[in-house]
Structure 1
């Protein structure tokens, strides 16, 4: 059983800034880009660019540029043929010096809708076609923990998704690994020969989004994640898992453990029987993560074996829960955390997710 991330949902963790990387398969309407990061106390400005090609000189479909300069503002813009267009200045600063942030850019028919720390901020209307976007650049006074593109154009899955050109990753990037390694970038962007003129040829990206890309995306037979993410749900949260759980299904939960937190729980339930098939119970004060199930109204044997608990007060977490035919595999920040073998509840009966306790959830995606 393979437990690789479904194609298109391999986040980038802790990229070096300045960052330059591809968005495999590009963007499409309904896609979203999720950022988790922080800005230093002495910030002056930083930027995020969505690029229409593989280099810093490519056209820029979106330039997002917070500036702390005495007249704090966020500047939006675009650039075509090396010429900047008219700026849109939003004289409101959603970032705080020395503090962490979460930002989501949702690609709608109208433009890029920005939500920062759970609040709607601004929509930047499209000036260049969304389909041209195939890369991302980040620079300035910012630290990034996570970048995740959700619902894009395949991220290695498609075999011809871009109009006029094959954007599939049939051979991957030359050089194989597309993690945070610095290649020489001489290979160019494969499969772009017949695409948009000047968009994807030439230098290639020095680093990139995702894991090993050697011969196409590993595990590319896995299903895509469906639907839009749920942002900032109230706690306690109780919701239906669309289509229920099944082998190879992945649930991503991102959030924060507040200061003074005691414990919280994440439960996967079968609503017909009321059984809790999988109970995850991080206890911040005790430094343990308890796992269990409750079948027929009775709790089973607790599992506690783990090294140091990754759920610390004041810390973000990025949890990936992947369902296999005989067990769940749980990953934290991209690293394996523990396995939990299925007990008596049938996987296909699991159709509900509950989150409760001392936790703030920013993002749930099935």
Structure 2
């Protein structure tokens, strides 16, 4: 038998699914079955944890860590160091949030001794239970850190970057996404795999470097002579211009209700999602704007970025097939975390996520999670031997109710699932 997650055909949502279930024992298999658009992008790491840094550290390198501070923790640390074991050799950058002290201590370790601590900070964003996104940028003068997209603290280089080969994470925080990013060159040009189609998405993470802004183009040819969707943030005007060039530029669109998120040196996370009638744009997990197709859905075959933009990452996501099934041979065990990110399809009212002991909803379902927008409720249940248990209901969270991008995190406990 196989245990799985499923979304029945009638449920409507776009989701991305970082699946964080990788135990090593010989347990029941776990599968994932979906009928919405989604992708698998992350994996929880046990602590303490050591990771080899591909290509080492150099100016322009970025490390991106997403996680949550564990409840009851007094401190945790992130080290950029020479060797796999802690304090075995040099530690070029020791980043040490201490919720118990409301301080984030930074330091270096060399020759068997710690150097002078640095404690100045604008605020403390690592309270217990709090989720965070930490970006560490390797700059000419030192390490720059950003928390949840905002500049946080800097730390001048004290040791040779060439000696740093490992990332080390201590206990005290749960990390579910760790990535290393190298600087992209501009202009950025890429062929879109199999062209744009319904459900396909492109994600950009970066920061504008001046007030002149930049443009993101879903082009119909390699040279961007024709463009299905032109997205042009202009910090000097505080506006984002949208347009298309299909044998000539059309009418500009400038109106939107959201705040302008593309000011210089502010990192953003933008997702462009193609639906059957429009491009939907979300920035920093919030709906930003949309742009109706002026040509065919499949017209865009190339993607390019022009302007002064510090690009940290460009990702292409394909929609999952209907009744998509993903099997996890190791099964679910205590401590596993599964994260579902997405948004409701236009007009969608409900979807479900099912943890199954099998490959279909006809098998036993250990956990059924079913948001229902029209009822303003999230229904939870289980089904064993074809019989449903007693429903448990909670008020639907505002991102689901408002059809905004959402993140659902399911933690496997010893006797329950925690959402």
Q: What is the TM-score normalised by the length of structure 1?
A: 0.45
Larger RCO (alpha carbons 8 Å, 6+ apart) = 2
TM-score under structure 2 normalisation?
0.40
Query: Which is higher, the Rg of structure 1 or of structure 2?
Result: 2
More strand by share: 2
